[in-house]
Structure 1
Amino acid sequence: VSMARQVVQRAKEAFLSGRTRPLEFRLQQLQSLQRMITEKETEICTALKQDLHRSQYDTPLLELISIENELKLAMEKLSEWASRRPVEKNLLSLSDEVYIHPQPLGVVLIIGAWNYPWAVTLLPLVGAIAAGNAAVVKPSELSEHSSLLLRALLPRYLDMELYPVVMGGASETQELLRLRFDHIFYTGSCAVGRLVMEAAARYLTPVTLELGGKSPCYIDKNCNIMVACRRITWGKFVNCGQTCIAPDYILCERSIQGRVVDCIRQTLLEFYGIDPKSSPDYGRIINRHHFNRVVGLMEGYAPVLGGQSDPSQCYIAPTVLRDVPPHSRLMQEEIFGPVLPIVTVSDMDDAISFINEREKPLALYIFSSDKKAINKMMEETTSGGVTVNDVMMHYTLSSLPFGGVGQSGMGRYHGKHTFEQLSHHRACLVRSLAMENVNLSRYPPQDRRRARRVKMALKSPLIDMSKRTLVWAVVATIIGCALFITLMVILLVAAGLNCTCWYWRGFYN
């Protein structure tokens, strides 16, 4: 029996033991994970410095704070998320208990990515723990130092059987995918996403695929171009461009292309100085393979900014290319590096057509001061998420679902959305064996009268039986009864007085 099979079997047995079902256990595991992030921040920053040349100041901003926020939210809201959720009833179920009960799915496989090896691995894990699942964690082998540290730390803070870490490359991932899971959560490329979905189909396993694609960034001539370019420059070149929701390319009218280039030039000088290679805030490509791929995408172009590279350090300077042809290879593949092409369009309608002719992106960025133009582009395009007059910031809100559409992925997560994604929403109806007369109309032998009764009951409007509605219903009933009793008393008193008057009138006569 392979090691992966043994790990998965132990996780399954641990889950079936029932230890994840109490909310107290889940809270304890979430608290331990929070403690790990707090206590080991220095080691995590060091590992990311070794993997991606990541600044020690960027790691908390780009990864750790989002994990801490997710943990805090899950611990605060767990009782609410996991509670039964009453739903509306019809006339046939008025006296029944009708609710949705979130239940754990079972054993979840989480396949992390190398570009943000802590956030994209631990954010799904937070949701898996909160939902009461076991989870097998497979970090990326490319971010070697972070993966080794994760393997060393998780068993010290979390239940070793329920949340094991499996190391390895493509062969180990393939071995895991041959096993049966209750959900697979994958973050990475579209090509591997297809293989994951194909493997999951064998057992009809549901999947969450957080992929990527080419996220467009439209700059309207009616906006503050300097501010727009500063925000775009940060989003594109942070983490050396290795961000799934980074602006992949710029769309703008030819009349402002030169201004856009000048503003990006000024911003790069402001961010990284004359020599970005010596800047502590500028990262590196993860390995030589990806370095060669990104450099290959630039072949045949004369950069207006940057273009320098050093294979010994996997360094590629922040690079801008202008007048890039729409059908070039550079515009067919996700760049995932510090290269920013500019494609010119005639107007917003042309930009919308350009976006809609391609696969649906993971993110769309719109820079404009015209609300009508913003609404037009939002209504006439589709993307996983959208941010207006900034980039990537929709990712930071746990209240917003994060995920793709079409080729950019399926499923969603962050905050409650992760809990929902990794839970089974069990439909529950609990009724009494009493009041059998209510059910007689649906039993045979049928006739026109019985059929009419059942039809009327089934077609009756749904009734909201939430606590607030019930309170108001009780209050309204009490008020109605009080008014009825008062009216009856008044009528009786009036009738009594009338009788008395008639009595004394007859007496005197």
Structure 2
Amino acid sequence: MNDSDIQVIIQRQENFFRSGITLDTNFRLDALRKLKHLLWDYDEQITEALKQDLGKHPFETYASEHGLAIQEIGIMIRNLNKWSRPQRAYTPMAHWFARSYYINQPYGRVLIISPWNYPLQLLFMPLIGAVAAGNCVLAKPSRHAAHTTRVMQKLISENFDPGHISLIEGGSQVNQYLLDQQFDYIFFTGSTQVGKKVMEAASRHLTPVSLELGGKSPVIVEPDSSPELAAKRILWGKLLNSGQSCVAPDYLLVHRDIKDKLIEEMNKYLQSAYGSDIKSNPDYGRMINQANTEHLAETLKGKKIIIGGETDVAEKYIAPTVVEVNDLNDILMQEEVFGPILPLVEYNDLGEALEIIRSKPRPLSLYIFTRNKKTQQKIILSTQSGTGGINDTVIHFVNPNLPFGGVGKSGMGRYHGKYSFETFSYKRSFLNKATWIDIPVRYPPYGKKMWLIRKLIR
């Protein structure tokens, strides 16, 4: 698709939004219902595409990709009329007689740039919120998940007016061209480095943005936690999508008193979950491409590997791997891993662990394993992160009632469920003043009205 083709779509969406059709909640509901049916109809194609792109098992595909999108649509359909109604606000006595209210107004034309790691979910989740709020959407997925992108392109182009929803393919040049255009809202999911460029481009037009980035999400394992449960839940979260998740546990801070037992339980879990031949197990996925596989394989050279470590670049395979790290300047502790490799750092007291976390940019997620509620609160109050989990990992992302997003270098903005609807709309306030009476306090001459205005506004 060339620049002129993109311009045609942009202009078409401008005209479509100006027509006012998306302001009708019935139109939005019809679009959402259609999308929900299409996701069911395309179930087999979606599953096969994600198998080809990332080696995902159908269970994982539904649980972490289009099942979440279907759930999100259901939430929007059930609540859209309620969320779209004018909301009353209290009118202070100084403004009587009047009625104060606000409406949730769509921004207009929304650009969504999505990544390859959850190619369907991370495109459709914000798209659903944008459509529910009454916007027109131009979606640009990553070129790396090519099979899934083709399925999404077919689903959208054959069933929706391009003026309402359009998906375009391409590489970084297309991304840059889109960012040079003026949109009313930009929603980006990807790396912090690219997120900075998106924000810089948006600033030229004063376009509001949501940035869903990443970072190094730490796990703290205190000695009073259950090593068996911690091992299962940490590795499940780490190995979901072969570690290619923005909320995956990125490094492990383990108290010395529980370290050996935790490692023992991790080995037991891997055996029970995947057997002795993990590489051949259909439940275990693959890296997105050989380049990423090779990069991570290089980071393992010369390391103290205590679990796994096997790699096959040609097969895009990296075994579940735990690496003991003593040097905090190690590359595994400096950049987001984004694969099934888990650096482990031993600590002697909680203060050490907290200092390591505070020395790094604020992460997208923080995971705490301890039964002690006071310790839980101490860790929460001593750190900052976009989201978190206590005695579990990743699963908070799936709760549609929780706002999801980062802080600092891990991102800005919140979405999922109602928070998506609020992200893609702005609150437009009105005060409707009565005409049957006009109280003259505010008009000159002010004379001796000072005492009265102080009574009314205080």
Q: What is the distance in 2 between the residues matched to 1:356 and 1:445?
A: 59
Offset, 1:442: 1.7
Q: What is the distance in 2 between the residues matched to 1:136 and 1:61?
A: 26
Offset, 1:351: 1.3
Offset, 1:413: 0.1
Instruction: State the Cα deviation string for residues 53-112 of structure 1 (Å, max 9, x = none).
Output: 111121011112211111011000001111111112210234211011110100000111
Q: Which amino acid aligns with 1:187?
A: T
After superposition, residues 100-119 of structure 1 pair within 5 angstroms as 100-119=102-121
Q: What is the distance in 1 between the residues matched to 2:302 and 2:446?
A: 79
Offset, 1:323: 3.4
Offset, 1:13: 0.9
Contact 1:217 / 1:364 at 8 angstroms: preserved in 2?
Answer: yes
Offset, 1:358: 1.1
After superposition, residues 72-87 of structure 1 pair within 5 angstroms as 72-87=74-89
Q: What is the distance in 2 between the residues matched to 1:309 and 1:445?
A: 84
Q: Which amino acid aligns with 2:210?
A: T
After superposition, residues 361-440 of structure 1 pair within 5 angstroms as 361-436=363-438, 438=439, 440=440
Matched residues, percent identical?
Answer: 39
Q: Which amino acid aligns with 1:90?
A: P
Number of the residue aligned with 2:443? 443
Contact 2:91 / 2:99 at 8 angstroms: preserved in 1?
Answer: no
Offset, 1:147: 0.5
After superposition, residues 50-89 of structure 1 pair within 5 angstroms as 50-89=52-91
Offset, 1:408: 0.3
Give the SS at the match of 1:164: strand
Offset, 1:349: 1.9
Number of the residue aligned with 1:202? 204
Instruction: State the Cα deviation string for residues 240-264 of structure 1 (Å, max 9, x = none).
Output: 1100000001101223222221111
Q: What is the distance in 1 between the residues matched to 2:183 and 2:361?
A: 30
Contact 1:324 / 1:341 at 8 angstroms: preserved in 2?
Answer: no
Give the SS at the match of 1:268: helix
Unaligned residue ranges in structure 1 (runs of 5+)? 460-509
Offset, 1:296: 2.4
Give the SS at the match of 1:304: strand
Instruction: State the Cα deviation string for residues 18-52 of structure 1 (Å, max 9, x = none).
Output: 11111100000000110011111110000000000
Instruction: State the Cα deviation string for residues 170-207 of structure 1 (Å, max 9, x = none).
Output: 00111100100000000011111011101101101000
Offset, 1:328: 1.4
1:13 matched to 2:15? The reply is: yes
Unaligned residue ranges in structure 2 (runs of 5+)? none
Specify which of 131, 136, 143 is matched with residue 138 of structure 2: 136
Q: What is the distance in 2 between the residues matched to 1:276 and 1:46?
A: 21
Q: What is the distance in 2 between the residues matched to 1:365 and 1:389?
A: 7
Instruction: State the Cα deviation string for residues 394-422 of structure 1 (Å, max 9, x = none).
Output: 11111110000000000010001011011
Offset, 1:12: 1.1
Number of the residue aligned with 1:313? 315
Contact 1:303 / 1:319 at 8 angstroms: preserved in 2?
Answer: yes
Q: What is the distance in 2 between the residues matched to 1:141 and 1:162?
A: 22
Q: What is the distance in 2 between the residues matched to 1:371 and 1:426?
A: 42
Give the SS at the match of 1:157: coil
Q: What is the distance in 2 between the residues matched to 1:299 and 1:450?
A: 80
After superposition, residues 232-381 of structure 1 pair within 5 angstroms as 232-381=234-383
RMSD: 1.1
**TM-score (normalised: structure 1):** 0.88
1:453 matched to 2:452? The reply is: yes
Specify which of 207, 212, 215 is matched with residue 214 of structure 2: 212
1:164 matched to 2:166? The reply is: yes
Contact 1:54 / 1:283 at 8 angstroms: preserved in 2?
Answer: yes
Give the SS at the match of 1:2: helix
Contact 2:304 / 2:325 at 8 angstroms: preserved in 1?
Answer: no
Q: What is the distance in 1 between the residues matched to 2:317 and 2:287?
A: 6
Contact 1:112 / 1:186 at 8 angstroms: preserved in 2?
Answer: yes
Identify the range of structure 1 (270-279 vs 23-32) with the bigger mean alpha-carbon deviation: 270-279
Runs of 4+ with deviation above 4 angstroms: none
Offset, 1:317: 0.9
Q: What is the distance in 2 between the residues matched to 1:38 and 1:306?
A: 38
Q: What is the distance in 1 between the residues matched to 2:97 and 2:401?
A: 35
Offset, 1:381: 1.1
Q: Which amino acid aligns with 1:452?
A: W
Contact 1:32 / 1:158 at 8 angstroms: preserved in 2?
Answer: no
Contact 1:215 / 1:246 at 8 angstroms: preserved in 2?
Answer: yes
Offset, 1:308: 0.9
Offset, 1:231: 0.6
Q: What is the distance in 2 between the residues matched to 1:204 and 1:301?
A: 46
Give the SS at the match of 2:58: coil
Number of the residue aligned with 1:122? 124
Contact 2:217 / 2:249 at 8 angstroms: preserved in 1?
Answer: yes
Q: Which amino acid aligns with 1:391?
A: T
Contact 1:34 / 1:71 at 8 angstroms: preserved in 2?
Answer: yes
Offset, 1:8: 1.1
Report the number of matched residues: 456
Identify the range of structure 1 (60-69 vs 357-366) with the bigger mean alpha-carbon deviation: 60-69
Q: What is the distance in 2 between the residues matched to 1:225 and 1:458?
A: 60
Offset, 1:17: 1.0
Q: What is the distance in 1 between the residues matched to 2:93 and 2:219?
A: 52
1:350 to 1:103, Cα distance in 2 relative to 1, 3 A: same
After superposition, residues 479-494 of structure 1 pair within 5 angstroms as none
Offset, 1:3: 1.8
Offset, 1:324: 3.7
1:33 matched to 2:35? The reply is: yes
Q: Which amino acid aligns with 1:411?
A: G
Q: What is the distance in 1 between the residues matched to 2:94 and 2:85?
A: 25
Give the SS at the match of 1:232: helix
Q: What is the distance in 2 between the residues matched to 1:386 and 1:126?
A: 24
Identify the range of structure 1 (150-159 vs 101-110) with the bigger mean alpha-carbon deviation: 150-159
Instruction: State the Cα deviation string for residues 105-132 of structure 1 (Å, max 9, x = none).
Output: 0000011111101111001011001100
